[in-house]
Amino acid sequence: MDTIIMVFLIILVAYFSLGLLFGFYFIFLGASKVDPLMEDSKKKVRLLLLPGVIATWPFLIGKLFKSKPVD
């Protein structure tokens, strides 16, 4: 039981830490590459999105790789 709990917690912490790192990159740089509406979005909107990006980064990272580079 103890090991299950430890593994669960380590995964949880790792998931959210990676999400935080990715999150800052994504809201200020990456997001405009996957969604043109982000280019003109304000800083407050970007920060509002941060918690959600931290929560769902594995889905978004895939989208980022698939996106075509914009010039």
Partner 1 sequence: MGLDYKLVLWNKHKKTYDKIIALGMLLYLVVFVALTLALNPETTAETMIIRAFGSLAILMLHIILVIGPLSRLNPQFLPILYNRRHLGVSMFLAALVHGAFSIIQFHTLGDVNPIYAIITSNMDYGSLTNFPFQVLGFLALLILFYMASTSHDFFLKNLSPKIWKGLHMMVYLAYGLILMHVFLGAFQQETSPFTIGIIIVGFITVTSLHLITAFKESKIDKFNSEKNSEGWLEVCEVDEIPNDRAKIFTVGNERVAIFKYEGKLSAIHNVCKHQGGPLGEGKIVDGCVTCPWHGYQYLPHNGQSPPPFTEKVATYELRLNGKKVYINPNGFEEGTEVQPVTC
Q: Which residues bind partner 1 (CB under 8 A)?
A: 1-2, 5, 8-9, 12, 31, 34-35, 37-42, 44-45, 48-49, 51-52, 54-56, 59-60, 63
43 versus 71: smaller Cβ distance to partner 1? 43
Distance CA 55, CA 16 (A): 7
What tokens were used for 40? Answer: 């003109």
CB of 71 to partner 1, least distance (A): 20
18 versus 49: smaller Cβ distance to partner 1? 49
